[in-house]
Amino acid sequence: MIEVNNIYKSFEGNDVLKDVSGVFESGKTNLIIGQSGSGKTVLLKTIVGLHEVDKGEIIYDGRSFTGMHTKARKDIRKEMGMLFQGSALFDSKTVEENVRFPLDIFSEMSLVDRIDRANFCLKRVHLENVNHLYPAEISGGMQKRVAIARAIALNPKYLFCDEPNSGLDPRTSIVIDELIYEITKEYNITTIVNTHDMNSVMGIGEKVVFIAEGEKCWEGTKDEILKSDNSRLNDFIFASKFLKQLRAGV
C-alpha cells in the first residue's frame, strides 16, 4: 500500500502538484487519470522519488519514503518496477540484456539463473525469440512488453506504469492492460498506472484518481465513474461529441 499525503511540487514557480493525497492499495490496479499536462507524470515521478516533494509525505507500507536518506531508499527501490511513457529501454543492450539488467546489478544469482529468470519474465509477457534483438528492432508494443518484463524481473512489490498504452492500437492496448492487471493479481503488487485512455479505465480501473491542473478532483472505482456528477470529471470523460450524445441518450 502506498499513501500519498498532501504533496506539493512546483518547478520554478510553476505549481504542478497542489495538495494531492491518495491511497493506493496492494493487489489492485490503481489508475491516475487526467488531461495531458495535468501533472500525471510529475505525480508518478514524485511518488517514486525521481522528483523531490516540496511538501507532504509519501509512505510505502508504513515506511516514510520522503523522510529517508538515499541509502535507505535504495532498499525500497529494489521493490519497485517502473514502466516509462517511452519504454526507456537501454538501446545499447539487447532485449534479454535489458530484462537481465536489474538482476545483473542487484542479484547474486549465477549467469545461468539470471538468463533463466529473464526468459521467464519475457515468456510472462508473451515474448519469445526476440532475446537477441535490440529495442530499435522491435515494435512499440513489444518494447512496452520488454519494459514490463524488465520491471518485474526483481519481483517488485510496487509497479508504476506511465501511460503503458500510449501510441498503441486499441487491441494491443488491451493486451498490455490485461498483462498489467494479471501480474498485479498474481504477485499481489501495488500497481499505479497513469492513463488518459477511457478503455483502460473501464477495463482495469479498480481504483481511479482523477487529477486536473495538479489537483485531485475525484476518486472512485470504474463503476462509479460514469455516474459521477463531478462536472470536471464529466468534461474529461465525455470529451467527444459522440460520447456526449450517447450519454444524453441514456
Partner 1 sequence: MAFLYQTGRYFLFLGKVFGRPVKHRIFFKQIIDEIDDLGIGSLGIVIIISFFIGAVITLQTAYNIELPIIPKYTVGVAARDTILLEFSSTIVSLILAGKVGSHIASEIGTMRVTEQIDALDVMGINSAGYLVLPKVVAMIFINPFLVMISMGVGIGGGWLAGASTGVVPSPEFIYGIQYGFIPFYVTYSLIKSVVFGFLIASISGFWGYYTSGGALEVGRSSTRAVVVSSVQILLFNLILTQLLLA
Ligand X SMILES: Nc1ncnc2c1ncn2[C@@H]1O[C@H](COP(=O)(O)OP(=O)(O)OP(=O)(O)O)[C@@H](O)[C@H]1O
Query: Could you tell me which stretch among 30-38, 52-60, 96-104, 143-151 binds ligand X (CB under 6 A)?
Result: 30-38
**Under rule CB under 5 A, residue 41 binds Mg ion:** yes
> Which listed residue (104, 116, 206, 213) binds partner 1 by CB under 8 A?
104
Ranges of beta strands (E only) in 50-185 are 55-60, 63-64, 80-83, 158-162
Query: Could you tell me which stretch among 29-37, 68-76, 152-160, 226-234 binds ligand X (CB under 6 A)?
Result: 29-37
What is the DSSP code string of 156-211?
Answer: -SEEEEESTTTTS-HHHHHHHHHHHHHHHHHHT-EEEEEE--HHHHHHH-SEEEEE
**Under rule CB under 8 A, residue 18 binds partner 1:** no
Q: Which does 42 bind (CB under 5 to 8 A by kind): Mg ion, partner 1, ligand X, none?
A: ligand X
Q: Which is nearer to partner 1, 106 or 120 (CB)?
A: 106
Q: Give the whole-angstrom CA distance, residue 30 versus residue 222.
A: 10
**Under rule CB under 8 A, residue 125 binds partner 1:** no
Return the amino acid letter for 129.
N
Q: What is the longest distance spanned by two Cα atoms in the chain?
A: 62
Query: Nine-digit cell at 6?
Result: 498532501
Query: Nine-digit cell at 72?
Result: 535507505
Residue 221 C-beta: closest distance to partner 1, Å = 28
Query: Nine-digit cell at 8?
Result: 506539493
Residue 39 C-beta: closest distance to Mg ion, Å = 9
147-186 footprint of partner 1 as x/- string (CB under 8 A)? -------------x--------------------------
**Under rule CB under 8 A, residue 74 binds partner 1:** yes
**Under rule CB under 6 A, residue 16 binds ligand X:** yes
**Quick one: which H or E segment has residue 78?**
none
Query: Nine-digit cell at 134?
Result: 535490440
The 3-state DSSP class for residue 89 equals coil
Query: Could you tell me which stretch among 100-108, 126-134, 208-216, 239-247 binds partner 1 (CB under 8 A)?
Result: 100-108
Ranges of beta strands (E only) in 12-147 are 14-24, 29-33, 55-60, 63-64, 80-83
Q: How many residues bind ligand X (CB under 6 A)?
A: 12
- Which one, of 50, 141, 143, 126, lies nearest residue 91 by Cα? 143
195-214 footprint of ligand X as x/- string (CB under 6 A)? -x------------------
Q: Which does 73 bind (CB under 5 to 8 A by kind): Mg ion, partner 1, ligand X, none?
A: partner 1
Residues lying near partner 1 in the complex (CB under 8 A) are found at: 45, 48-50, 73-74, 77-78, 80, 82, 84-86, 88-91, 102, 104-106, 160
Residues lying near ligand X in the complex (CB under 6 A) are found at: 11, 14, 16, 34, 36-42, 196
